[in-house]
A = this chain, B = another copy of it.
Amino acid sequence: MIDSTALNGRVARAKVLTIDTMNPTVKNAKYAVRGPIVARAAELERELNEGMKKPFDEVIKANIGDAHAMGQQPITFFRQALAICSYPELLNDSTFPEDAKSRAYRILQSCGGNSMGSYSASQGIDSVRQDVARYIERRDGGVPSDPDNIFLTTGACDGIMTMLKLLVCGEGPTRTGIMIPIPHYPMYSATLVELAAVQVNYYLNEEKCWSVDISELKRALDEARHYCNPRALCIVNPGNPTSQVETRQCIEDVIRFAAKERLFLMADEVYQDNVYGHGCRFHSFKTVLFEMGPEYSNTMELVSFHSTSKGYMGECGFRGGYMEVINMDDEVKAELTKLLSVRLCSPVPGQALVDLVFNPPQPGEPSYDNFIKERTAILSALEEKAKLTEQVLNTVPGISCNPVQGAMFCFPRITIPEKHLSGNCTVTLCCNDSFPLWICVIPGSGFGQKEGTYHFRMTILPPIDKLQILLNKVKEFHQKFTQKYS
Interface residues in chain A, defined as those with a beta carbon under 8 Å from any beta carbon in chain B:
7-8, 10, 12-19, 21-24, 26-27, 29, 31, 33-34, 42, 64, 66-74, 79-80, 82-84, 86-87, 90, 111-113, 115-122, 154-155, 157-158, 161, 165-169, 187, 190-191, 194, 231-232, 259, 262-264, 294-295, 298-301, 313-319, 327-329, 331-332, 335, 338-339, 341-350
Once the chains bind, are A26 and B90 in contact (CB under 8 Å)?
Answer: no
**Bound: A100/B320 CA distance, A:** 25
Once the chains bind, are B22 and A169 in contact (CB under 8 Å)?
Answer: yes
A301 — which chain B residues lie within 8 A by C-beta?
15-17
Nearest to A82 among chain B residues (CB) is B86
A342 — which chain B residues lie within 8 A by C-beta?
29, 31, 157, 187, 190-191, 194
A24, A33, A116 pick with most chain B CB within 10 angstroms: A116
Asked whether A169 and B24 contact (CB < 8 A) given A86-B79, A294-B7, the answer is yes
Of the residues B23, B117, B167, B317, contact of A314 by C-beta under 8 Å: B117
Closest 8 CB pairs of A and B: A69-B112, A317-B348, A83-B87, A68-B115, A34-B341, A19-B331, A68-B117, A69-B118
Give A99 Cβ to nearest chain B Cβ, in Å.
15
Once the chains bind, are B23 and A169 in contact (CB under 8 Å)?
Answer: yes
Give A433 Cβ to nearest chain B Cβ, in Å.
22
A67 — which chain B residues lie within 8 A by C-beta?
117
Of the residues B73, B166, B316, B338, contact of A344 by C-beta under 8 Å: B316
Nearest to A38 among chain B residues (CB) is B341
Once the chains bind, are B13 and A315 in contact (CB under 8 Å)?
Answer: no
A-B contact pairs, 19 of them (CB 8 A): A8-B294, A13-B259, A15-B329, A16-B301, A26-B165, A26-B335, A26-B339, A31-B342, A64-B119, A66-B119, A68-B117, A83-B83, A119-B316, A154-B319, A157-B343, A190-B342, A194-B342, A318-B347, A319-B347
